[in-house]
Structure 1
Amino acid sequence: MLGVLLASTMWGLSSVFMKVALPGMPPFGVAFIRVLLSGLILTPAALLRARGRTAPEVPASGGRERVHLAVLAVTTVALPFCLTAWAQQQVEASLSAVLHATVPLWTLGFAILMLGHRPCGRQLGAVAIGLLGVAVLAGPGSHDLTGCSWGGCLAVLAASACYGFGWTYMRRNLSHRQPLYITAVIQVGALLVLAPLAAATTDTGHVELTPVRIASLLALGVISTAGAELLNYRNVIRLGPTSAALTAYLIPVVGVSAGICVLGEPLTARLLIGAAIVLGSVGLAVQRRHDREKPSDRHGRTKPAWAE
């Protein structure tokens, strides 16, 4: 389980790294650097894995598949990275980490709409409880969460919805492709989307990159994005999807702890109660009907808990 703890720590620290880097660079610039650094690692990793296979994955040749990959590049990388970076200017890193824990709930909702999944009463209840948790975190009276704003909270929730949509879209249209291959390709696609946005919104004369901010940018792209993706891919293959999914519960814990210890953010009763409600709803949403671990295939693919 050390791999799960390490992956959760890598992902959970992303909000802190962004918070530190943002004063020196606008959000689109931070998102661009993040994708550039992660792409420089994930693309060679995908090529090395393909080289060792008897039937290596080849670049997409069909127009329809290119469209699917382009959709994923926007919905799972470019758009959520920009939304999250912008939101970090409006909300605390700890609150952002908790709101990102709603990804499984969004995934469940899109599975109902796109895959014809029939939710059970437990899962419908999980969605309702999750909405309650979000209301506690960002609803009336949330001024006691320093720096919290409705716009920032909505941006984080929109980024989480993007992930839920993208992962469901990938399962529906690209399940024949190796996940690591898809991840590498969409990083390149997102880079093409973000490059003009970053260039148009970044005034080099006002970029203030201190050594600490540069280190945060490097850590964001290399550790919290590429490193976490590769380690999670390894965890799914070695431990199975159920064990690897524990990261959904641990990321908010890491994010909140880092926000308090590193950034000096306050620990409020509202944050604790809201986090407990959200994580409880996620537990209900992804709970399996049996305890037996379903093995993943040689690509690391498996049927997710919400699709049972």
Structure 2
Amino acid sequence: MPRTRIAALTTLAMIAFAGNSLLCRLALKGAGIDAATFTLARVVSAALTLWLILRIRAAPRGIAGNWYSAFALFVYAGGFSFAYLGLPAGTGALLLFGAVQATMIGYGLWTGEHLRVPQWAGLVLALGGLVGLVLPGISAPPLGSSLLMLGAGVAWGVYSLRGRRSFDPTTTTAGNFLRAVPFAAAVSMLTLAHTSFEQSGLMYAILSGAVTSGVGYVVWYTALRELKAATAATVQLSVPVITAMGGIALLGEPLTPRLLVGSAAVLGGIALVVAKKQTVR
């Protein structure tokens, strides 16, 4: 696959991931929907959207994916939603993507991937920029919510690593979302007494599932087949930056010097990591 296409697909996937964060903030913080219902609506709408895509393109009958990946997908989606009920956005982003980093880069190093000195420098720069972007807002986050977000990050890292083996991203993602529906439905049933949703919250959840999750994950799966684990982990550091920029444009959040410096560090660090191919010794 041409490198320009890989870069374009990766960029679209990162924008989709940032969209998930923005939609989740909009829904859970002010649109009157509970975390379990948001997760269920997100998973179901993603599964239906991908099923329609498969029907339109006249794909062979049957779906791919597996229960292990589906469970990892559910743990990420559910943990993400419930964690944001008790965490500030910046704290949640740091915990989530820190866990993704640890999972994916740890796996890459364990399986023989090696980073060159400039790439290590880029990784440190990107992590430093991310910490600088969110650290001032961190103050004793709730332990339960923190553990949920860390678990969501590990689950997303596992899901991303497993997705690199996919031969057909659409059928694989469709199968995983379909298998994740019973898990999300079970949690929704267990929290039935706390169920609440308004039309706007449900709309945000459906958009998150159909567009930024369903279609976005297909794009990410496609790009993952061409990326090293360490590169795939590092480029995801751009998501908090994109999310912050989206918050400025859509939610009226202020543009600060800290945001500008942190964003430059994160994006510059990513550029160093992906500028040269990683080598396996």
TM-score (norm 1): 0.67
- 1:108 is displaced (CA, Å) by 2.8
Aligned residues of 2:34 and 2:197 also touching (Cα < 8 A) = no
Residue 169 and residue 143 in structure 1: after superposition, are their counterparts in 2 closer, same or farther (change >3 A)? closer
1:53-92 to 2 correspondences below 5 Å: 56=60, 69-75=66-72, 77-92=73-88
1:46-57 to 2 correspondences below 5 Å: 46=54, 49=57, 51-52=58-59, 56=60
Identify the match of residue 45 of structure 1 among 24, 42, 53: 53
Aligned residues of 2:75 and 2:151 also touching (Cα < 8 A) = no
Matched letter for residue 104 of structure 2: T
Aligned residues of 1:133 and 1:275 also touching (Cα < 8 A) = yes
Distance in structure 1 (CA, Å) of the matches to 2:147 and 2:123: 17
Are 2:152 and 1:168 equivalent residues in the alignment? no
Greater shift, 187-196 or 97-106, is seen at 97-106
- 1:35 is displaced (CA, Å) by 0.5
Are 2:169 and 1:179 equivalent residues in the alignment? yes
What is aligned with 2:190? 200
Residue 57 and residue 100 in structure 1: after superposition, are their counterparts in 2 closer, same or farther (change >3 A)? farther
What is aligned with 1:216? 204
Aligned residues of 1:95 and 1:256 also touching (Cα < 8 A) = no
Distance in structure 1 (CA, Å) of the matches to 2:77 and 2:279: 25
Q: Deviations over 1:23-70 (max 9, x none)?
A: 523222211110110001113434555x45xxx58556xxxxx8xx22
Distance in structure 1 (CA, Å) of the matches to 2:114 and 2:61: 33
Q: Deviations over 1:274-301 (max 9, x none)?
A: 3433333333333333xxxxxxxxxxxx
Distance in structure 1 (CA, Å) of the matches to 2:216 and 2:160: 17
Aligned residues of 1:74 and 1:190 also touching (Cα < 8 A) = yes
What is aligned with 1:292? none
Are 2:141 and 1:149 equivalent residues in the alignment? yes
1:289-300 to 2 correspondences below 5 Å: 289=277
Identify the match of residue 44 of structure 2 among 21, 36, 46: 36
CA RMSD of aligned residues (A): 3.9
- 1:306 is displaced (CA, Å) by 8.1
Gaps of 5+ in 2: none
Matched letter for residue 142 of structure 1: G
What is aligned with 1:281? 269
Residue 133 and residue 21 in structure 1: after superposition, are their counterparts in 2 closer, same or farther (change >3 A)? same
Q: SS of the residue aligned with 1:37? A: helix
Percentage of matched positions with identical amino acids: 22
Matched letter for residue 36 of structure 2: F
TM-score (norm 2): 0.73
- 1:78 is displaced (CA, Å) by 0.7
- 1:104 is displaced (CA, Å) by 6.3
Aligned residues of 1:4 and 1:232 also touching (Cα < 8 A) = yes
Gaps of 5+ in 1: 61-65, 290-304
Aligned residues of 1:100 and 1:160 also touching (Cα < 8 A) = yes
